[in-house]
Amino acid sequence: MKKRLVSAVMAGTMVASLVACSPSPSAPATSESKAPETTAAAQDAPQESTAASADISSEDENTLTVYAWDKNFNIPALEAAEADYQKNVNPDFKLNIVEQSQSSDVENAVTLAGSAGDYSTLPDIVLFQDHYFKKYVTDFPDAWASFDGADINWDDFGAEKLSYSTIDGVHYGMPVDNGTVIFAYRTDLLEQAGYTIDDMKGISWDEWLEIGKKVYDTTGKYLLSMDGDGNDLPYMMLQAEGVSQFKDGDINLTENETFKKIVDVIVRGVQDNAIYLANDWSDYTDQTIVGDMVAGVMNGNWIIPTIQQVSDNSGKWEITSMPTLEGNGKEGFASNGGSSLYITSNCKKLELAQDFLGKTFGAGSTETYDAALKNGGVITCSATAGKSAVYNEGVEYFNNTPVYAQIVEMSTHVPVVEQSDYHYPTRTQVAAAIQNIISGADADASIKDAEDQVRFAMQG
C-alpha cells in the first residue's frame, strides 16, 4: 500500500468519530452512505477483509457482480435497477449483489487488490463513498474502468455530485444517492415564535440567530443541533458559501475569513441557545431529534427517516434551503454524504456494465428511481427522475409538500468546492477547536491549532 494512502486513511480513522459508515447501534440512520463518515479501512498493511465473498468470475455473459452495503437502503436501489433492466432491456440479465457489512469492506477489497497488484479479486462493480474515490483512483489507477463510450447524459446530474467521480474530464462513477442538505423546520413551533417557513428562506445567519433565540425563549426548543464531535456544520455552511476548507491541496483555515465567520456563527448560536452541540451521534439523533429537543434539523436529506420517527409530529415539518452569511434573498445549498457506483478493471463485460448503469441510474429512469425511493428511501441525483409523479407526490409528514422533488431541484444548485481525503480529520480538528472556543479559548489560536494538526497528518 502506498504510504500516502496509509497515512491518509490512518489519520481519518484515528481522529474521526464513527457516525454513518459505522453508525452507532442506537443511531437511527439507515444507510452508511447517507451520513458522512470516515472509513474503517485504515491499516498499515493489507489485512484480511471482512467483506463477503462471491464468485466474481462468472462466465455468464448476462451476469454482473456488485459489492454494496446496507440491505435497507443501497441494496433495494440496486434491486430496483436490476428489475428495470430485466423488464426493459434484457430479460436474461442478473445482478449478483454481494452484501458487505459496511462501506469500509469495499475500500478494504480495493486496497488488498491494489497492494497485491492483482485486481482479479474485485467484482464487476462496487459502491464507493464519494469523499474517498479520488484518493483511491490516484493510488490505484489500474483498479478502475471509465464510462468512456457510454451513452449517458451527464448534464442530468448536478455538477457537485459529479465532481467526486470525474477526474481529468473522465467519468468513473455513476451517481446513486443524493446527499443534498435540507433545513427542516417545525412550522408549528416557528408559528409560536411569530414566523413561517417562508421567513426562513434566503435569510442571513445573523437573522437566523435572532429567530433561534426567540424560538428557544418561546418554545424551549433549539433551532438546530449537531453532533459536537463529528461536527458537520462548518463544512455544510462553508460549502453553501462556495468556499472550501482546502486550497490547492492544502488545509486552509487560518487565512480563510469565510471559515472564521462561520465558526463565529456556530459559537454564538451555542451561546444564545439557538444551536445545541450534542455529545455524540447517538445524543444527536436519539436525544435531540427523536427526543424532540429541536425545532429545526439541518443535514443531508438522509436525516429524514430519523425525523420521521416521531410520529406525533407528522404534518408539522417542512423543508427549505440554508441561510447564508449574506442573506438578502441568497439561498444556501450544500451536500453531505453520498455514494456512486464504479466499474472495476476486473469487469470482463464492460459494455454490459456501462449499459446497465447507463440505462437505469444514468438515464433518469423513473422505474429505477421511483422503486428505489419507495423501497429504500434512496433519493435520485437525476434531475429528470426527480420530475416523476412519485417524486412530486406530497409527503404527509412534511405537511403534504413534495419534499423529494424539492430536494432534487435543490441538488442542482450545490456549488462545487475543493475536496480532500483529509475531510474527516479536518472535521474532527475543527469540531475540537469550536468546543475549545465555546469554553473560552482564543478563537484564532484554536483555529491555528486545528490547521496545524491537519497539516501534520497530511505530511505524515
Q: What values do phi and psi take at 387, rounded to 5?
A: -100, 5
Q: Which residues of the chain have pLDDT under 50?
A: 1-55
> CA–CA distance from 96 to each of 80, 217, 247 (Å)?
13, 55, 41
Q: Is the pTM of this model over 0.75?
A: yes
Distant-in-sequence, close-in-space partners of 7: CB < 8 Å, separation ≥ 6: 457, 460
- Please tell me the total number of residues recorded for the chain in this structure: 460
Report residue 244 as a C-alpha cell.
472550501
What is the DSSP track for 328-381?
TTPPB--B---EEEEEBTT-S-HHHHHHHHHHTTTTT-HHHHHHHHHHH-PPPS
What does the alpha-carbon distance between residue 210 and residue 54 come to, in Å, rounded to a whole number? Answer: 56
CA angle (290 as vertex; 289, 291 as ends), nearest 5: 90
pLDDT recorded at residue 272: 97
The pLDDT tens digits of the residues spanning 361-395 come to 998 889 999 999 999 899 999 999 999 999 999 99
275-278/224-227 β-pairing:
parallel
Q: Which segments of 198-348 are extended strands (E)?
A: 224-227, 246-247, 250-251, 275-278, 296-300, 317-320, 339-343
What pLDDT is stored for residue 10 in this prediction? 33
HSE, CB side, 13 Å, CA atoms: give it for residue 205.
Answer: 22
All structural domains of the chain: 3-179+338-390 (3.40.190.10), 181-334+418-458 (3.40.190.10)
Beta strands at 63-69 and 125-129: parallel, antiparallel or unpaired: parallel
Three-state DSSP at 224 gives: strand
- Residue 56 pLDDT: 61
**Cβ-based burial of 15 (10 A; exposed 0-12, middle 13-18, buried ≥19):** buried
| Confidence (pLDDT) at 79 | 98
- Quick check: 170 and 146 in contact, CB under 8 A? yes
